[in-house]
Chains A and B, each alone.
Chain A
Amino acid sequence: MTQSAKPATGTTAPPPTNSRTGLAVAVVVISLLALLPLLNLFRAALFSGGGSPLALGFDGGDQIRGTLLLVLGEGIAGAVLGTAIGWLTAMCHFPGRRWLRIAQLLPMAVPAYLSAASLIDWGSHHGLRIHGIGWTIALMTLANYSYVVLLSTESFGISGRRLLEASRSLGVGPWRSFFRVAVPIALPAVGAGVALSAMEVVNELGAVRLLGVPSLSAGILDRWQIDGDPKGAALLSLAALAIVAVLVAAERRLRQRSRRWSLAGSSHQQPLWVLQGWRAWLALLVCVLPPLVALLIPGLWVLEGWQNLSVVAFRELLPLAARSLGLALAATGITLVAALLLAVVRRWCPGPALQQLSFVAGLGYAVPGSVLALGLIVLGGPLALGPLLLLLWGYGDRFLAVGKQGLDAAFERLPPSVDEAAVSLGQSWQGVLRRVHLPLLRGPLLVGALLVFVDVVKELPLTLSLRPFDFDTLAVRVFQYASDERVGAAMAPSLLIMLFGLIAAAALIPSLERR
């Protein structure tokens, strides 16, 4: 079922039918909704008529350099760690593999600002200063490598299996199979994962501030809010956008170079390589360490600082958690539907205009959350939209790319012949979507849902600036307490955030294991 022929156009092109105008309209509407707040904000910033000329400012260069270094460092470290773990847990057999596979999702549930705050606090108890770019890269890698694991596991699992079986039957060893077969196959997914994690890095605010690293995200906010210089902020936002655009373009390039189609492997799920002796131990170590460290950072803090845990805080946990959960569920639904439509359009409407539009719509991820929030406030006031509606709009805008990235990669692995067969049997795009794509894409859809869910539960800047009165969420509380330097009070709500992430991850396991 796997072919390596290059398709004629960007995607497969079943013959156009009238039913697709509806799809095109939906996509245009989604893209406009996604782009409106940003465009409006840039317009407001650039034509604000303020006296200051467009300039990077005193710290601008440092901030761009800081963000670039972070992206580079985290990207490389995350790609290596994520691919290695993805490969080991998907393809090799060693003790505890099943559990470790689930455990890889844990670090994602620990907000980076929390691990930074608790690590710094823990360090200062022991006379250790946690500060600077090295620590930041390490913490950001830990917080984001799971993206790479998740997406690469998917592709090792789906498309790689048969090729790997073939290479194995030809007597190629595990290492050579890994480098010559598995890595090229997984490249699009790894690229997608690295791009996602790098965008998280560009956007990270709390952790980089605490660790004293100059960054674009902090720069944009400071220029806007403290210096009162929206033009300068817009310029820095453009720099952030440029970095992300390069990332996304690079990822697409990789993906196009290694386009392979395959149906979800129906072969029985048995790990291909059984590891024994020191190899099994090494694999175990590689897979255990990152989630363990991610848990240990706040865990150590809790162990040593349990006396600081504030009891008063426990009473408010229930309403906080209910709000976080409600928001995350609603946002996940909205985001995934939008992402699915955008991904479908990439397959069904090959016209360059729609293609570009669906690509640009995902850029909301690149803009720092607080900037997006401002755009929504400016836009939402005159429209008299309720704050929660604005907030959901913001979540959808911000995390569209998260849902879409995995879906795009998954769609590209589906051979166009599947669609062609369905169309020739008289199905419209809705029919194909319902009867063919959705069943085949269940795995990537659930992964996307999990990512968006966990992201929304942790999300900070949008929630902080858009929520209505008396509507704090877990993440908001964690941040407020942590920024008051009261890590003890922050710990209870953050443990709940981690619990949510864990539950979401656990819900995903059966569908990951089943394939």
Chain B
Amino acid sequence: MTIWHRGIIRDLTRATLGATALLVSADWTSMVLAQSRIQEVNVYSGRHYNTDKALYAEFTRRTGIRVNLLEGKDDELIQRLKSEGSNSRADLLVLVDAARLVRAQQDNLFRPISSRELNKDVPANLRDPGGRWYALTRRARPVMVNAALVNPRLIRTYADLARPELKGKLCMRNRASVYSQSLVADELVRRGRPATQNWLEGVVANQQQPVFSSDTTMVRAVGQGQCGAAIANQYYLARLLSGDNDADRAIAKKVRVVWPDPTHVNVTAGGVTRTARNADAGRRLLEFLASPTSGEGYAEANNEYPLRGWGNNPTLKAFGTFKVSPVPMEQLGRRNREAVQLMTQAGWN
């Protein structure tokens, strides 16, 4: 033990000096490399799936363009891009949820691009009419029911969630959840403000308190019979069903997916940034990710749906098909603020 006595401060100083020198030189090297003319594309992404990296590697293999990745929380990436301004090195911004895409668009973070391939591969309601962002995968937000507590036939549309039979049995995410916000925005666009207001009052009256701050725990609560019905993204249930945990699988098997008519759908999408220095490489990566072959891999990583059809994921296939809400993504984003206001007024926590 005596080895620590004398030289510990000196050793520590050496270690910290060494580490600092190493980091600062790494910083320099990366900046110098960035200035050399290697073809590359810098991606800010709100997704964090290791399988994404295999796709990026495939893109590099085909095109010779290197992909540099910075993954983070969506809101944080938007803010970072905003603060970096014209100094930003990001070329492509990939975000989850229409509300955030439109927020980034309103902050003028994207640049419009035109691409015949993207227009062919991405359906019109899943991209920005101005060509600033294009969807890459789809996710749906169905109702998940414990049939022992709630008759699945009771629920045909989201409007049925306000039925008094569901009082105290309905579990939902908090108001801060962007998934909930976009669902309400969907209702707003399809059914108008007064109907949505009424609906919200009924839904809030049915909500079990406290509201949930994550989808997975909520889906488990349905399987365990604490909740009769919940609204959750399909991939959370798919994850539990296809995971390796026996207990989770057993719980998840008790959950029935009920598809409202129509079902609210949201997207992960990407766009070339306004300040991109490798805009062309960014567009090519976008085209690659949106193409039907690689797009399926992108969706598969998180048990999501590809841009068209239902994909080949067996877990998702078992959930059945559904009628997709026709509301354009762009409108979901535009009505987000109004949706949050109405939720607050109705007392949604």
**A residues near B, CB below 8 A?**
58, 120-121, 123-125, 127, 129, 131-132, 209-212, 221-222, 224-226, 228, 304-305, 307-308, 312-313, 316, 325-327, 329-330, 332-334, 370, 374, 377-378, 381-382, 384, 386-389, 392, 438, 442, 445-446, 449, 464-465, 467-470, 472, 480-481, 483-486, 488, 507, 509-511, 513-514
Q: Are B247 and A507 in contact (CB under 8 A)?
A: no
Residues of B within 8 A of A374 (CB): 79, 83
CB contact between A121 and one of B4, B80, B216 (< 8 Å): that residue: B216
A-B contact pairs, 24 of them (CB 8 A): A124-B217, A125-B220, A212-B213, A225-B76, A225-B78, A226-B75, A307-B244, A325-B19, A326-B22, A326-B23, A329-B15, A333-B12, A333-B15, A334-B20, A374-B83, A377-B83, A381-B87, A384-B87, A445-B9, A465-B79, A468-B27, A468-B70, A481-B48, A510-B1
Interface status of B13 (Cβ within 8 A of chain A): yes
Least Cβ–Cβ distance between B342 and chain A, in angstroms:
13
Q: Which 4 A-B pairs have the closest CB atoms?
A: A333-B16, A386-B27, A329-B19, A124-B217
A127 touching B226, Cβ below 8 Å: yes
Chain B residue nearest to A209 (CB atoms) is B213
The minimal Cβ–Cβ distance linking B19 to chain A, given in whole angstroms, is 4
Name the distance in Å between B234's Cβ and chain A's nearest Cβ: 14
Query: Which residues of A are found within 8 Å of B68, using beta-carbon distances?
Result: 469-470
Distance between Cα atoms of A42 and B293 in the complex (Å): 48
Check A480 against B71 for contact (C-beta < 8 Å): yes
Given contacts A124-B220, A132-B210, A370-B76, contact A469 B89 (CB under 8 A): yes
- Which residue of A is nearest B178, CB measured? A226
Is A469's CB under 8 angstroms from B42's CB? yes
**Complex CA–CA separation, A30 to B216 (angstroms):** 46
Residues of A with C-beta under 8 A to B246 = 307
Task: Judge whether A334 and B48 touch: CB under 8 Å.
Answer: no
In contact, B70 and A211 (Cβ under 8 angstroms)? no
Complex: chain B residue closest to A385, CB-CB: B27
Q: Are A485 and B214 in contact (CB under 8 A)?
A: yes
Name which residue of chain B comes closest to A389, CB basis: B27
B36 interface residue, CB < 8 Å from A?
no
Residue pair B19, A330 in contact (C-beta under 8 Å): yes
B19 touches which of A333, A370, A467, A488 (Cβ 8 Å): A333
Tell me which of A387, A467, A481 has the highest count of chain B C-beta atoms within 10 A of its own C-beta: A387
CA distance A372 to B284 in the complex (A): 35
Query: Measured between C-beta atoms, what is the minimum distance from B310 to chain A in Å?
Result: 23
B73 vs chain A, min Cβ distance (A): 7
**Contact (Cβ within 8 A) A124 B50:** no
Which residue of B has the minimal Cβ distance to A370?
A: B76
CA distance A17 to B229 in the complex (A): 76
Bound complex: CA of A486 vs CA of B84, how far in Å? 30
- Of all chain A residues, which has the CB nearest B226? A127
Q: 18 extra interchain contacts, Cβ-Cβ under 8 A, other than A211-B213, A370-B76?
A: A120-B217, A124-B216, A209-B213, A210-B214, A307-B243, A308-B243, A313-B50, A329-B18, A330-B20, A330-B22, A333-B15, A334-B16, A382-B87, A468-B27, A470-B70, A488-B243, A507-B4, A511-B8
